[in-house]
Amino acid sequence: MSKKILVAYASKSGATAGIAEAIGAELRAHKHDVDVRDVTRVDDITPYDVVIVGSAIYIRGWRREAVRFLRHHVDELRERQVWLFHSGPIGPDKDQDQAMPPAVRRLVHEIGATPAVTFAGRLEGESAKGFLAHRLAAGNLAADSRDWDKIRAWATDINAAISATERSTWHRPAINRPAKHPAGHFLG
């Protein structure tokens, strides 16, 4: 069964936005209705069954607008299937999972989501923003380290989890049981 899915992201240089688009494309290939949007352009998550939130991660911190999005929608997110990702690591440590920032970890616990998966990032001179990013992009760390196969596989895993949840919520036919009196006593 097709689900209405939101992939919301907070990106600084466009790398996280690209990951969000790839996740959205993979879920569309599995016949879901998917919207991919910057978190600052999402006011209402009511229409969505599933929400995926991604943020660029810099110096062990999520983008403020992504944390704000989680805080603002915490009650609604509790009622939905939620997955999180962050992207940003480059260089020799690009494949290591990054710890979730404390504020995000608390929100993940409140929402009941699983911890964020880490995807390697991109750092290229033409898209680098900020002094440190420009300095690093001028060195040997400049590269697009995103692993598209890993990203698509993660989206496929989300599709499988959505399907498994649908199967587990199917209702079995009622078993013939004696009717209960309103006071709770069996009548048969």
Span 148-183, pLDDT tens digits: 999 999 999 999 999 887 655 444 344 343 444 444
pLDDT of residue 81: 95
Instruction: Report the mean per-residue pLDDT for the chain.
Output: 80
Say whether pLDDT at 123 is over 80: no
Q: Look at residue 84 and tell me whether its pLDDT is greater than 70.
A: yes
- Look up residue 156 and give its two tokens: 């496929």
Q: What pLDDT, in 10s, does the model give residues 14-34?
A: 899 999 999 999 999 999 999
Asked if residue 78 has pLDDT above 70, the reply is yes
What residue ranges define each of the domains in the chain, with the CATH number in brackets? 4-168 (3.40.50.360)
Per-residue confidence (pLDDT) for residue 90, from 0 to 100: 64
* Structural element, H or E, at residue 36: strand 33-38
The pLDDT of residue 93 is 59
**Cα separations (Å) of 15 from 9, 47, 142, 181?**
10, 27, 13, 62
